[in-house]
């Protein structure tokens, strides 16, 4: 491969990783890009898990053997089986050397400075491959893992120039992984409440819009529990905001614990003292039971005065739910009702039938020019 072709291959690999929408897509783009750039038939990307002392395969691409999954759940190899990782990579690199790639063949090593690795040679033979090039991936100044590209039997084996090129590709992969991790962290922060670690309002809005669309299309049950932590202002005024934050954190933990009783439920802090649980799929009765359990556990917290919970579910007689906004209004009206009567359990919209007072309250004309979800707040 000429210099221009190799430059184009590097650019294609970098662009493929940059276009990835998730970490897994970035792994796949890295392995595919390297496989094509080195004219290989198979490639894998693995991470070195130091705490577990193993190399864990993240992705396999190309001509996979029967025992190789694209995204394996448990394909990992003890590091002691690959002496070059700890001896060649760590010790030589730490001594001032470079994290260069090396080549192994079904008959033994041919290029690079790593020693003969029986496990790699055995794997090549077992899977009908003729050679492989192994390139260390270095991230943030530390050995992160390895890029592995193989060719089948009967074709030219990798040479020293291929190993040098693989070293360059591994550096591009490392840069792509670093960028992907930064973007993932940014996405996580964008959808996470910094105080409690729960999802935030932006995450709820996105998930709820998707859920309502599924409900309209497939009839999937969508339920929303809206909670208001009682006594936060008193705690802030009498004991300080640090104690108020502690109350919110403690309730967030209780909410997360109760939400785990509903498969796939999203626990979130909407802002201030308001929280919610979004459940898509579970029966409404199960959601109400969890909301009642949430009320019980919140009442036992050392701070605050429990919680007011309102529940709205498309499975209850609340009329057609064509928008996320209406389900929010219903759950919020139920929560307002629970707050007003100091209910020890959740108040459920539609529980009293079509003429349910909660439904009437939610569907009443808004007070003022802006029909915000929190329009009930002024009535308290």
Higher local confidence (pLDDT), 366 or 189: 189
Helix/strand/coil (H, E, C) string of 74-140? CCEEEHHHCHHHHHHHHHHHHCCCCCCCEEEECCEEEECCCCCCHHHHHHHHHCCEEEEEEEEEEEC
Does the pLDDT value for residue 111 go beyond 70? no
Query: Considering the chain, what is the average pLDDT of its residues?
Result: 86
Burial 20-40 (b: 16+ CB within 10 A, else e): beeeeebbbbbbbbbbbbbeb
Domain ranges in the chain are 3-191, 201-363
Radius of gyration in angstroms for the set of CA atoms belonging to the chain, rounded to a whole number:
28
Across 47-60, average pLDDT? 87
Cα–Cα distance for residue pair 287/222, rounded to 1 Å: 10
User: 37: which 2 tokens?
Assistant: 């750039």
- Going by the DSSP 8-state scheme, the letter that residue 195 receives in this structure is T
Does the pLDDT value for residue 170 go beyond 70? yes
Does the pLDDT value for residue 110 go beyond 70? no
Q: Tell me the pTM.
A: 0.58
Element (H, E) at 8: helix 3-18
Maximum mean pLDDT: which of 31-35, 79-83, 103-107: 31-35
**Which candidate, 278, 275, 282, places its Cα nearest to that of 298?**
275
- Work out the burial of residue 313: count CB atoms within 10 Å of its CB; fewer than 13 is exposed, 13-18 middle, 19 or more buried: buried
Give CA separation, 283 vs 211, 314, 354, in Å: 14, 10, 20
Architecture of domain 201-363: 2-Layer Sandwich (3.30)
- Is the distance from CB of 238 to CB of 318 less than 8 angstroms? no
- Is the distance from CB of 27 to CB of 19 less than 8 angstroms? no
Question: Where residue 116 falls among pLDDT bands split at 50, 70, 90?
Answer: low
- Is the distance from CB of 244 to CB of 235 less than 8 angstroms? yes
pLDDT digits (tens, 9 = 90+) for 221-242: 999 999 999 989 999 899 999 9
pLDDT at 368: 54
In a 3-state reduction of DSSP, which class is residue 161? helix
Does the pLDDT value for residue 91 go beyond 80? no
pLDDT at 48: 86
Residue 53 backbone zone (phi > 0: left; psi -120 to 50: alpha; other: beta): left
Element (H, E) at 142: strand 142-152
- Is the distance from CB of 309 to CB of 358 less than 8 angstroms? no
Question: Where residue 363 falls among pLDDT bands split at 50, 70, 90?
Answer: confident
Q: Does domain 3-191 match CATH 3.30.300.30?
A: no
How many residues are given for the chain? 380
pLDDT digits (tens, 9 = 90+) for 6-50: 889 999 999 999 998 888 999 999 999 999 999 999 999 999 887
- Percent over 90 (pLDDT), the chain: 57
């Amino acid at each position: 491969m000429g210099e221009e072709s190799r430059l184009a291959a590097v650019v294609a690999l970098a662009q493929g990783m940059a276009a990835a929408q998730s970490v897994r897509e970035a792994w796949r783009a890295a392995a595919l890009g390297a496989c094509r750039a080195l004219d290989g038939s198979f490639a894998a990307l693995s991470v070195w898990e130091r705490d577990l002392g193993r190399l864990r395969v993240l992705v396999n691409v190309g001509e996979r053997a029967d025992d190789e999954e694209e995204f394996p759940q448990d394909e990992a190899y003890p590091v002691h089986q690959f002496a070059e990782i700890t001896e060649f990579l760590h010790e030589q690199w730490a001594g001032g050397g470079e994290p260069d790639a090396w080549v192994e063949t079904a008959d033994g090593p041919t290029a690079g400075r790593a020693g003969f690795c029986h496990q790699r040679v055995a794997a090549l033979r077992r899977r009908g491959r003729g050679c492989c090039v192994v390139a260390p991936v270095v991230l943030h100044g530390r050995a992160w893992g390895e890029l592995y590209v193989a060719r089948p039997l009967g074709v030219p084996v990798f040479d020293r120039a291929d190993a040098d090129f693989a070293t360059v590709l591994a550096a591009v992969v490392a840069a792509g992984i670093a960028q992907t991790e930064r973007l993932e962290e940014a996405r996580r922060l964008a959808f996470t409440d910094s105080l409690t670690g729960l999802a935030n309002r932006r995450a709820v809005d996105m998930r709820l819009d998707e859920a309502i669309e599924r409900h309209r299309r497939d009839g999937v049950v969508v339920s929303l529990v809206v909670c208001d932590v009682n006594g936060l202002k008193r705690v802030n005024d009498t004991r300080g905001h640090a104690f108020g934050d502690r109350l919110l954190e403690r309730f967030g933990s209780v909410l997360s614990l109760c939400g785990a009783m509903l498969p796939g439920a999203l626990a979130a802090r909407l802002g201030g003292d308001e929280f919610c649980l979004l459940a898509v799929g579970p029966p409404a009765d199960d959601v109400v039971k969890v909301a009642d359990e949430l009320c019980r556990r919140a009442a036992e917290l050392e701070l605050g005065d429990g919680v007011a919970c309102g529940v709205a579910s498309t499975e209850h007689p609340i009329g057609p739910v064509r928008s996320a906004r209406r389900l929010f209004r219903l759950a919020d009206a139920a929560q307002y009702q629970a707050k007003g009567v100091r209910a020890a359990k959740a108040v459920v919209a539609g529980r009293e039938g079509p003429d349910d007072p909660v439904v009437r309250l939610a569907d009443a004309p808004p007070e003022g020019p802006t029909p915000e979800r929190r329009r009930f707040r002024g009535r308290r």
